[in-house]
Amino acid sequence: MSLAPARACGVDFGTSNSTVGWLRPGAPTLLALEAGKATLPSAVFFNADEDSTCFGRAALDEYLEGYEGRLMRALKSLLGSSLIDGHTEVLGRALPFRQLLASFIAQLKLRAETQAGRPFDTAVFGRPVHFVDDNTDADRKAQDTLEDIARQAGFNEISFEFEPIGAALHYEASLDHEELVLVADIGGGTADFSLVRLSPQRARSEDRREDLLGNAGVHIGGTDFDRALSLECVMPLLGYRGKMKNGAEIPSSIFFQLATWHTINSAYSRQVSADLQHIYRDAAARTELDRLSRLVARREGHWLALQVEQAKIDLSTAAEAVMTLDRLESGLTHVIGTDAFTAATRALVGRVAETVSTLLDQAGIARDEVDTVYFTGGASGVPQLRTRIAAELPLARAVEGDLYGSIGAGLAVQAMRRYG
Ligand SMILES: Nc1ncnc2c1ncn2[C@@H]1O[C@H](COP(=O)(O)OP(=O)(O)OP(=O)(O)O)[C@@H](O)[C@H]1O
Ligand SMILES: [Mg+2]
């Protein structure tokens, strides 16, 4: 490795968490972005009480403290969705989503520069293998949009690398021999895979095309697990799948909005309030809808989504998760067991496993040739996912990498290679 610090940085703009890596001798690669931590949660809070904007953990904290305002999370999910060209209403003003993303990326840049003590004009940005499944044009458009936004945020020279390749380069730096590795990066929004030959010798070569046996990705990540868990196990407490007096099911769109991180704010529109009043009048039972009305009136959708996410994380290591849902109804608690979680997420786990299986088939690699599965990304903590992927490759050794840092660190390696 060169002794001079790299000219460019690596930016892992994640659905849930973001990092910035910068390769320089004798210092950790990831820059501290918030309170000494390398990750900045991809969240923005517009505080109406104080007419201020904050980012990351501070954004989540201010929202949870009960300030009036608007919380935005899972901003990256807007890329590749038709929402990206629209806007949201923030403190009485129309804020284009592109500008919202640009302000978050500008914040990443500013914090990285402050920490590094120098400006960054050039960056390698990570990108999922697919921003959009099965649609090359829309996928291309999503990358172009991210590039425009990065420019708007002040970067001049931008290139892209697949997120799992970032993780592969990071893992390779720790190897003293050759391995055929399946990198599994399961984040908040996407599950991305690369099948690569890694070794210290290969790391020195300029052109790695021969070492890359294939990439695959699917638009499933931790936020989809939150959504599935919410719909199956929590939204019924608020009236989802309940009945109207005429026997029809209560219209479900509000439950989908509340269960999906990047659409929670849509549940606070005037139209939805009007719809809710009609539903309330004609519903067969009201206990659940009282909870729903309270949640929407107090704009506590993100609070509920955070409780669901925490339950999911608890279920990674415990047989059950106990949710305290006081804000829905005084004294309300709700227990979710592993079986319910497994049932709610079975289809998602199946689609992720299928993506791996197709990748191996397309690369023409036999199941027993893969030496290692390298897991990274927060959602790789879900045991059902790890077990299913490991079952595809019974002989491979499972390595659990740094769940949050390996992409940003690997993108910094790539930035040094590309830009010196
Ligand atoms: N122990 C855990 N068990 C299960 N899920 C977890 C655990 N810890 C974190 N997660 C989930 O991991 C996800 C965040 O992972 P990560 O920070 O890797 O995503 P990201 O890089 O922001 O997303 P992406 O790469 O898809 O854009 C969240 O959905 C979070 O709830
Ligand atoms: Mg990620």
Q: What is the side-by-side strand order in the sheet with 122-127?
A: 40-41, 17-21, 9-12, 122-127, 157-162
Range of the domain at 412: 9-176+402-419
Query: Mind listing the pLDDT tens digit of every residue in the chain (420 residues)?
Result: 557 999 999 999 999 999 999 999 999 999 999 999 999 999 999 999 999 999 999 999 999 999 999 999 999 999 989 999 999 888 889 999 999 999 999 999 999 999 999 999 999 999 999 999 999 999 999 999 999 999 999 999 999 999 999 999 999 999 999 999 999 999 999 999 999 999 999 998 888 889 999 999 999 999 999 999 999 999 999 999 999 999 999 999 999 999 999 999 999 999 999 999 999 999 999 999 999 999 999 999 999 999 999 999 999 999 999 999 999 999 999 999 999 999 999 999 999 999 999 999 999 999 999 999 999 999 999 999 999 999 999 999 999 999 999 999 999 999 999 999
Please name the residue that has the structure tokens 């720790």: 174
* CATH classification at residue 103: 3.30.420.40
* pTM for the predicted model, two decimal places: 0.95
Look at residue 284 and tell me if it is in a domain: no
Please name the residue that has the structure tokens 């590749």: 80
Look at residue 14 and tell me if it is in a domain: yes
Q: What is the side-by-side strand order in the sheet with 191-198?
A: 212-218, 191-198, 179-186, 372-376, 397-400
Ligand 1 mean position, distance from CA 42 (Å): 11
Q: Ligand 1 pocket: which of 12, 13, 15 to mutate (most atoms <8 Å of CB)? A: 15
Look at residue 339 and tell me if it is in a domain: no
The conformation of residue 195, written as its DSSP 8-state character, comes to E
* Dist. CA 159–CA 123, nearest whole Å: 7
Tokens of 80: 């590749």
Residue type, 306: L
Ligand 2 mean position, distance from CA 179 (Å): 23
Look at residue 294 and tell me if it is in a domain: no
Q: Which residues line ligand 1 (CB under 6 A)?
A: 14-17, 76, 163, 187-190, 221-223, 309, 312-313, 316, 377-379, 381-382, 404
Ligand 2 mean position, distance from CA 13 (Å): 7
What atom of ligand 1 comes closest to residue 16's alpha carbon? 22
* Dist. CA 5–CA 61, nearest whole Å: 35
Look at residue 240 and tell me if it is in a domain: no
Look at residue 203 and tell me if it is in a domain: no
What atom of ligand 1 comes closest to residue 12's alpha carbon? 21
What atom of ligand 1 comes closest to residue 76's alpha carbon? 27
| Domain total in the chain | 1
Please name which of 343, 266, 336, 349 lies closest in space to residue 307, comparing C-alpha atoms. 336
Look at residue 241 and tell me if it is in a domain: no
Look at residue 140 and tell me if it is in a domain: yes
